[in-house]
């Protein structure tokens, strides 16, 4: 036999032996992975149509994986595992994977069937140690429902979710968030959340990358029209209709430790918000005690730190129906720009929350307000001041006529107020400059002047102060604790105005 022929046979035999060894190792690896997957799947009822493992390329593919456990129903087209460290798994049962690709997953969670105890029971036997360097999810949906027959309470449709250094083990699986991660990217096409039985939240687009987040077309949508809304409330309640063109967060950090959620962000921008609020005052009063904003923030069920919030080019309209025979009175604030500093319930290094607002009141008067409070003060101490320039009778009557059946004559040329207070009482001063101010009290039909009441009202008005500066010092206001902070502020301004006019 020629030497070259012998050499060829040795090479062929060597290759054949290597192929046999690789084939055997591949079968062993596939068997080990199948056993591992089978062991893990017994805890979550994981099913799949086909499992392929390739040792040479260090890949594994599950076709049509699905599971159902404790109200959680999951299915996907394909689950691909790339760059698997097979030896680590065979030797130590530590599964390290370079990349996992999950295609078209759909996860539905029935919250009525999911409980903390059942989750902990199902995770108590988890002994795997899994590290995925890159977890990529494509074209998925997530839905939360309150029971089998209910509509979604939360739904999102997303094109991509990427998580780096995804790790899950016997320790993390017991937490509310059952895994650790280093960073994530999310591209959502739509999001829906049932805020309550009367309002829903939706967005058109959510993008998150390295903590920088952009939310477009954020909406709070009322379920019912203004009139039908009143049939679904037990007492006076606000109907909200909100559209925010864009919300951006510069470095959002979300952390879950045990059952505690923490939210932090240094700069939040809210652009082109349009908010309409409607309240029917003909409904029964809500006599429950209302909290001040400082107490609400102090008692939040999560840890919050928003260093700076910028609101730009925004609009707010408030409508209040006082009489079913008249249209609602309305006030609005346009071209609103506001800055909020240190909105937090962290006390370390906290010196207070400051809010500065500049806006156009009734699309005519320039209005600026500065508001400060400290969440650490259990008496809910606050300081608020503001000033407003010229406002005409036409603008004032947009609220006064339908809401109070009163017409104003003349104008307010300038107003400034400065109050400090707590959750019980406030004191301060107010300056009011008005010109030829008079009132006409209308008859019940709202079209004719009630001459007797109008004459009486103007008779007791402070006519000597017409067209002059009026300063009211040491004003005192007692808070109605069944009303909101905004009613409290209105009483402060009202107290100064009444003492100036009468």
The pLDDT assigned to 460 comes to 44
* Per-residue model confidence as pLDDT tens digits over 307-354: 999 999 999 999 999 888 888 989 999 999 999 999 999 988 899 999
The first and second tokens of residue 202, run together, are 């939706």
Give strand ranges (E) for 404-468. Answer: 406-421, 425-441
Q: Is 145 exposed, middle or buried (0-12, 13-18, 19+ CB in 10 A)?
A: buried
Residue 77 burial by CB count (10 A; 0-12/13-18/19+): exposed, middle or buried?
A: middle
Among 139-143, 275-279, 443-447, where is mean pLDDT lowest?
Answer: 443-447
The radius of gyration computed from the CA coordinates of the chain, to the nearest angstrom, equals 33
Secondary structure letter of residue 328 according to DSSP? P
Cα distances (angstroms) measured from residue 214 to each of 112, 234, 259, 266, 308? 32, 37, 27, 14, 16
Cα(260)–Cα(263) distance, integer angstroms: 10
DSSP state letters, 164-212: EEEEE-TTGGGSSS--B-SEEEEEEEEEEEE-SSSEEEEESEEEEETTE
- Is the pLDDT score of 267 beyond 70? yes
Note the pLDDT of residue 456. Answer: 43
Closest CA to 385 of 295, 466, 291, 496: 496
Where residue 8 falls among pLDDT bands split at 50, 70, 90? Answer: very low
Lowest-pLDDT range of 119-133, 309-323, 380-394 = 119-133
Strands 260-280 and 303-321: parallel
Rounded to whole angstroms, the Cα distance separating 180 from 163 reads 10
The whole-number pLDDT of residue 496 equals 83
> Do residues 319 and 279 make contact, with C-beta atoms less than 8 angstroms apart?
yes
Percent of the chain whose predicted confidence (pLDDT) is above 70: 78
Residue 408 confidence (pLDDT) above 80: no
Half-sphere exposure of 9 (CA within 13 A, CB side): 6
Cα→Cα distances 463→249, 434, 457, 470, Å? 53, 11, 11, 12
Encoded tokens for 48: 């799949």
CA distance 219 to 275: 10
What is the pLDDT confidence band of residue 38, given thresholds at 50, 70 and 90?
low
112 vs 368 pLDDT, higher one:
368
At 186-232, the pLDDT tens digits run 999 889 999 999 999 999 999 998 879 999 999 999 999 999 999 99
C-alpha 291/C-alpha 288 separation (Å) is 10
pLDDT value of residue 17: 46
Give the pLDDT band (50/70/90) at residue 366.
very high
Closest among 71, 153, 73, 58 to 107, alpha carbons compared: 73
Backbone angles phi, psi at 273, to 5 degrees: -90, 140
User: Which residues face 52 on adjacent strands?
Assistant: 61
């Amino acid at each position: 036999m020629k030497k070259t022929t012998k050499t060829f046979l040795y090479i062929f035999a060597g290759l054949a032996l290597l192929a046999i060894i690789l084939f055997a190792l591949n079968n062993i690896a596939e068997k080990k992975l199948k056993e591992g997957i089978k062991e893990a799947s017994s805890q979550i009822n994981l099913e799949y149509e086909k499992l392929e493992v390739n040792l040479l390329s260090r890949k594994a593919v599950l076709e049509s994986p699905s599971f159902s456990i404790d109200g959680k129903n999951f299915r996907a087209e394909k689950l691909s595992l790339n760059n698997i460290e097979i030896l680590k798994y065979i030797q130590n049962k530590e599964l390290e994977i370079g990349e996992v690709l999950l295609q078209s997953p759909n996860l539905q969670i029935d919250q009525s069937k999911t409980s903390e105890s059942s989750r902990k029971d199902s995770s108590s036997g988890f002994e795997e140690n899994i590290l995925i360097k890159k977890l990529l999810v494509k074209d998925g949906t997530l839905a939360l429902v309150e029971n089998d027959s209910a509509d979604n309470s939360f739904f999102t449709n997303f094109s991509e979710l990427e998580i780096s250094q995804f790790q899950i083990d016997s320790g993390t699986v017991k937490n509310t968030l059952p895994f650790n991660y280093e960073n994530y990217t999310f591209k959502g096409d739509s999001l829906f959340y049932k805020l309550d039985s009367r309002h829903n939240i939706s967005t058109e687009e959510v993008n998150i990358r390295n903590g920088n987040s952009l939310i477009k077309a954020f909406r709070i949508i009322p379920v019912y029209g203004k009139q039908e809304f009143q049939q679904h409330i037990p007492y006076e309640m606000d109907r909200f209709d909100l559209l925010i063109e864009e919300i951006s967060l510069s470095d959002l950090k979300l952390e879950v430790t045990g059952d505690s959620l923490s939210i932090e962000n240094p700069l939040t921008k809210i652009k082109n918000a349009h908010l309409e609020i409607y309240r029917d005052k003909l409904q029964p009063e809500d006599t429950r005690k209302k909290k001040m904003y400082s107490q609400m923030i102090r008692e939040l069920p999560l840890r919050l730190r928003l260093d700076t919030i910028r609101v730009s080019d925004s609009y707010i309209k408030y409508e209040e129906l006082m009489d079913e025979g008249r249209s609602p009175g309305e006030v609005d604030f346009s071209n609103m720009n506001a800055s909020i500093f240190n909105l937090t319930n962290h006390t370390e290094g906290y010196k207070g929350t400051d809010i500065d607002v500049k806006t156009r009141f009734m699309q005519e008067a320039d209005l600026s307000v500065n508001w400060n409070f400290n969440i650490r003060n259990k008496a809910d101490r606050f300081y608020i001041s503001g000033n407003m320039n010229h406002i005409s009778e036409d603008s004032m009557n947009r609220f006064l006529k339908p809401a109070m059946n009163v017409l104003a004559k003349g104008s307010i040329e300038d107003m400034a107020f400065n109050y400090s207070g707590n959750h019980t009482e406030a004191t301060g001063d107010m300056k009011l400059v008005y010109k030829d101010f008079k009132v006409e009290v209308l008859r019940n039909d709202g079209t004719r002047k009630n001459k007797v009441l109008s004459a009486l009202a103007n008779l007791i008005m402070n006519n000597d102060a017409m067209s002059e500066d009026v300063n009211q010092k040491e004003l005192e206001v007692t808070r109605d604790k069944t009303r909101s902070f905004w009613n409290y502020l209105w009483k402060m301004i009202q107290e100064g105005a009444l003492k100036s006019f009468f």
